[in-house]
Copies of this chain bind each other. A is one copy, B any other.
Amino acid sequence: MIVLKLGGSVITVKDKPMTPRPETIRRLAGEIAEADVKLILIHGGGSYGHPVASRYGIKGGYSSENQLQGLAETHQAMVKLNTLIVEALIKAGVPAIGVPPSSLIITTDGRITELELQALRGMLKIGLTPVLYGDAVLDTMLGFTILSGDQLASRLAVELGAERLIYGVDVDGVYTKDPKRDEAELLERVTPKTLRELEAASPTAVDVTGGMRAKIEEALRAAERGVEVVILNAMREGIILKALRGESVRGSWVVADADD
């Protein structure tokens, strides 16, 4: 079984509210259909979930009652995006079914502590493709928060014994700097040492690699538990198909080396 996470920047236009990339979604649904593997798909929020979640301060947790309306709107924005993905998959011949994390996951200070997997396991077993996403979820300390698709993907890969975890983003992998801004070198191999070096290079909240650090942390958690993890560019045609098939692709392989 494979866990595939598609970043919000891949499937939406990140700086235009509620704007999907229908052609990319259609192409990726086709590649997933062609690969024909047992799969859990997880997608990010992009320009759907993020603007409304940020307007209401959902990630920071409960501070006032009118945030509940914001939580409801955040979740519903994600359901709308999920509907686009699920319907593209169904159209491509993949029996996909949306599974909202808020219905089966509870976090504690932002980390998953309750995770109800029975229905998810049953769906995989019978041949359905569950499609989850970053979502507003209940949190035992904060009241509620935002669960990232990256954390969810890594945790599900571990819990369900995935052989491979693929993070599909809009760059070729992990760079020493933000490849969209600076000349940067692609790291084909990312280890805990790489993470420490990146942290040393920008010790503040600023992430010089373009928001990649948190993703690497989640990726390493799965790699440490024996999952093969790769971060690759899902905007490149055919790369998801190859990666799902286990063929060699350009990207950053995240490994938890003992000799590191």
* Separation of A86 and B74 alpha carbons in the complex (Å): 12
Q: Which residues of B contact A144 (CB under 8 A)?
A: 126
| Mask of A74-94 contacts with B, CB within 8 angstroms, 1/0 | 011001100100110010011
A138 at interface (Cβ–Cβ under 8 A)? yes
A96 at interface (Cβ–Cβ under 8 A)? yes
Contact of A128 with B72 in the complex, beta carbons under 8 Å = yes
Q: Which residues of B contact A83 (CB under 8 A)?
A: 76, 79-80, 83
* Separation of A62 and B125 alpha carbons in the complex (Å): 13
With contacts A72-B96, A100-B99 known, is A106 near B79, CB below 8 A?
A: no
Across the interface, A68 reaches (CB within 8 A) one of B68, B71, B72, B127, namely B127
Q: Which residues of B contact A94 (CB under 8 A)?
A: 72
A197 at interface (Cβ–Cβ under 8 A)? no
A230 at interface (Cβ–Cβ under 8 A)? no
Contact of B122 with A138 in the complex, beta carbons under 8 Å = yes
Stretch at the interface among A2-10, A112-120, A173-181, A252-260: A112-120
With contacts A119-B104, A138-B126 known, is A93 near B69, CB below 8 A?
A: yes
* Separation of A231 and B93 alpha carbons in the complex (Å): 41
Q: Which residues of B contact A122 (CB under 8 A)?
A: 106, 138
A223 at interface (Cβ–Cβ under 8 A)? no
CB nearest neighbor in B for A65: B127
Contact of B68 with A126 in the complex, beta carbons under 8 Å = yes
Q: Which residues of B contact A104 (CB under 8 A)?
A: 103-104, 116, 119
A143 at interface (Cβ–Cβ under 8 A)? yes
A24 at interface (Cβ–Cβ under 8 A)? no
Interface residues in chain A, defined as those with a beta carbon under 8 Å from any beta carbon in chain B: 62, 65, 68-69, 71-73, 75-76, 79-80, 83, 86-87, 90, 93-100, 102-106, 114, 116, 118-120, 122-123, 126-128, 137-138, 143-144
Can you name 17 A-B pairs with beta carbons within 8 Å? A62-B126, A68-B127, A71-B97, A72-B94, A76-B86, A76-B87, A80-B83, A100-B100, A103-B120, A106-B118, A114-B119, A119-B137, A122-B138, A123-B138, A126-B138, A126-B143, A126-B144
